[in-house]
């Protein structure tokens, strides 16, 4: 789960991380009221969408010369004008894709005079199984570009979970950023706050870009991107209210209600599979046969009729789906139960596209019999290769006039 910049900053502030003051606003009036509570003389009006690159982004509805999604304002009137221009518009950045995202919230925050910008991130490094701190002197830039062009300007330090964050980690990060004296001390404090926040919220990433040195010699977090590990959501009920459903794909939201792992893709073959590995293999073999999967969908180990029906509905609500491939391995969940679920679901949603089913595992014969006797036009497949060939042939076959 990802959250907005303003939510991330409010959260980090609770862990003692220095952020400029600011308030979220859903309307022009709220933006003006927010600006009035800040001292000025410089304000920043920031579009709140779950994507970075806002500063250099473009609004679809505004001309090519219009300013991006992060704007400086030197008076309350400028805050008002910028808020009015940005709210409700579509912002396209390098991270949103061409469709962009509609700006429904703004963040009105203190403008600071920046002397230098750094990059600082905490993430889970799967290779070492540790939290990694990534630091770079090249802040305010796209970190992927820095990694590509000047990888020597990125320092990575991993933290042993047995010791947790130690003072030497803070010194190493300060050294990597070229900070000395008081700024080095501030850097160690910021890192400690970020680390406590990371552990305390079961985050999956905290990215600060930029971490700025102000003209007053203070370190400040000017932009923050925070994501949480969904496996630990049950431990953080308070964080659930930070979720902004308008930022998520409606079908993915529906899937999460039924505990289905669903990700929409660009192809035409809907997939319903149990187990993430089997789902990946199913997608691979569809591609091998020359077609593209319309989604990744793992119904999980405990797939029952309700889940299978929900999965069918979600797949069919995607107009790009021209055929469905069900690939289920009956282990703990028996094939006959799965088959019952498929038949009931196919009836309930009045299936309109070809359906190929491959069942394997416990009670496979009973399962196949249920499908064959259902009277539904279900195409049975013997193995994964057979199933992929059959559904691809169905989808590619010319439609009768
Ligand atoms: P994004 O990464 O989505 O473009 P940022 O919040 O990083 O958005 O803003 C882009 C740039 O705008 C920053 O690199 C910084 O130079 C400037 N900026 C952001 N917030 C402030 C602020 N509070 N005061 C002054 N400048 C800011
Ligand atoms: Mg940024």
| CB within 8 Å of 337: residues ≥ 6 apart | 304, 305, 330, 363
Domain identity same for 391 and 257: yes
Structural domain includes residue 264: yes
The domain spanning residue 387 has which CATH number?
A: 3.40.50.261
Domain identity same for 198 and 70: no
Domain identity same for 357 and 256: yes
Specify whether the CB–CB gap between 111 and 93 falls below 8 A: no
Specify whether the CB–CB gap between 110 and 38 falls below 8 A: yes
| CB within 8 Å of 269: residues ≥ 6 apart | 286, 291, 292, 293, 294, 321, 322, 323, 324, 325, 391, 392, 395
Give me the pLDDT at residue 399, please: 56
Domain identity same for 30 and 120: no
Mean per-residue pLDDT over the chain, rounded: 93
Structural domain including 97 reads: 21-110
Residues catalogued as catalytic:
119, 207
- What is the rounded distance in angstroms from the CA atom of residue 206 to the CA atom of residue 201? 11
Structural domain includes residue 329: yes
Structural domain includes residue 285: yes
Burial 347-360 (b: 16+ CB within 10 A, else e): eeeebebbbbbbbb
Q: What tens digit of pLDDT does each residue of 204-230 get? A: 999 999 999 999 999 999 999 999 998
Domain identity same for 215 and 278: no
- In the structure, which protein residues have their CB atom closer than 6 angstroms to any atom of ligand 1? 20, 44, 46, 52-55, 70, 109-112, 114, 117, 140, 209-210, 222-223
Structural domain includes residue 134: yes
The domain spanning residue 44 has which CATH number?
A: 3.30.1490.20
Q: What tens digit of pLDDT does each residue of 331-388 get? A: 877 888 888 888 888 888 878 899 999 999 999 999 999 999 998 889 999 899 999 9
Q: What is the mean pLDDT of residues 78-104?
A: 95
Instruction: Kindly indicate the confidence band of residue 129, based on its pLDDT and cuts at 50, 70 and 90.
Output: very high
Specify whether the CB–CB gap between 157 and 136 falls below 8 A: no
Domain identity same for 384 and 265: yes
Structural domain includes residue 5: no
Domain identity same for 61 and 142: no
Q: What tens digit of pLDDT does each residue of 284-295 get? A: 999 999 999 999
**Distance from first CA to last CA of the chain, Å, rounded?**
45
**Token digits of residue 143:** 């970190």
For a ligand 1 pocket test, name from 103, 210, 214 the mutation site with the most ligand atoms within 8 angstroms of its C-beta. 210
- What is the rounded distance in angstroms from the CA atom of residue 281 to the CA atom of residue 373? 29
The domain spanning residue 163 has which CATH number?
A: 3.30.470.20
Structural domain includes residue 9: no
Domain identity same for 388 and 255: yes
Structural domain includes residue 10: no
DSSP code at position 131? E
C-alpha of residue 180 to centroid of ligand 1, in Å: 24
- C-alpha 237: how far from chain center: 19
- Number of domains comprising the chain: 3
C-alpha of residue 70 to centroid of ligand 2, in Å: 10
Domain identity same for 72 and 159: no
Point out the domain boundary residue: 94, 110, 126: 110
Domain identity same for 294 and 367: yes
Give 142: exposed, middle or buried? Use CB within 10 Å, 0-12, 13-18, 19+: middle
């Amino acid at each position: 789960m990802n959250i907005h910049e303003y939510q991330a900053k409010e959260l980090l502030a609770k862990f003692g991380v220095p952020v400029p003051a600011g308030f979220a606003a859903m309307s022009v009036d709220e933006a003006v009221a927010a600006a009035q509570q800040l001292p000025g003389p410089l304000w920043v009006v920031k579009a709140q969408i779950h994507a970075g690159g806002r500063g250099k982004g473009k609004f679809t509805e505004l001309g090519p010369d219009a300013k991006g999604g992060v704007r400086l304002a030197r008076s309350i009137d400028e805050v008002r004008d910028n808020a009015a221009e940005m709210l409700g518009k579509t912002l396209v950045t390098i991270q949103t894709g061409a469709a962009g995202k509609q700006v429904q919230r703004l963040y009105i925050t203190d403008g600071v005079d920046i002397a230098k910008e750094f990059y600082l991130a905490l993430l889970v490094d799967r290779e070492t199984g540790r939290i990694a701190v990534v630091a770079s002197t090249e802040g305010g830039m796209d970190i992927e570009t820095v990694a590509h062009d000047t990888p020597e300007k990125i320092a990575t330090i991993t933290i042993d979970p047995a010791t947790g964050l130690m003072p030497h980690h803070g010194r190493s990060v300060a050294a990597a950023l070229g900070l000395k004296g008081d700024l080095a001390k501030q850097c160690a404090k910021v890192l400690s706050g970020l680390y406590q926040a990371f552990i305390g919220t079961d985050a999956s990433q905290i990215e600060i870009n930029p971490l700025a040195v102000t003209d007053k010699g203070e370190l400040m977090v000017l932009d923050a991107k925070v994501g949480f590990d969904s496996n630990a959501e049950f431990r953080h009920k308070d964080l659930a209210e930070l979720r902004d459903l308008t930022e998520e794909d409606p079908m993915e939201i529906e899937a999460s209600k039924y505990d289905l792992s669903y990700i929409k893709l660009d192809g035409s073959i809907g997939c319903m599979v149990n187990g993430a590995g089997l789902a990946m293999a199913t997608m691979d073999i569809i591609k091998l046969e020359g077609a593209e999967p319309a989604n990744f969908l793992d119904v999980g180990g405990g797939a029952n009729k309700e889940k299978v029906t929900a999965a069918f509905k979600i797949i069919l609500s995607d107009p790009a789906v021209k055929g469905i491939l069900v690939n289920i391995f009956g282990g703990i969940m028996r094939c006959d139960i799965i088959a019952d679920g498929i038949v009931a679901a196919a009836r309930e949603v009045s299936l309109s596209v070809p359906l190929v089913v491959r069942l394997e595992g416990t009670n496979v014969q009973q399962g196949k019999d249920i499908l064959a006797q259902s009277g539904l036009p279900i195409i049975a497949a013997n193995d994964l290769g057979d199933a992929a060939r059959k559904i691809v042939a169905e989808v590619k076959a010319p439609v009768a006039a």
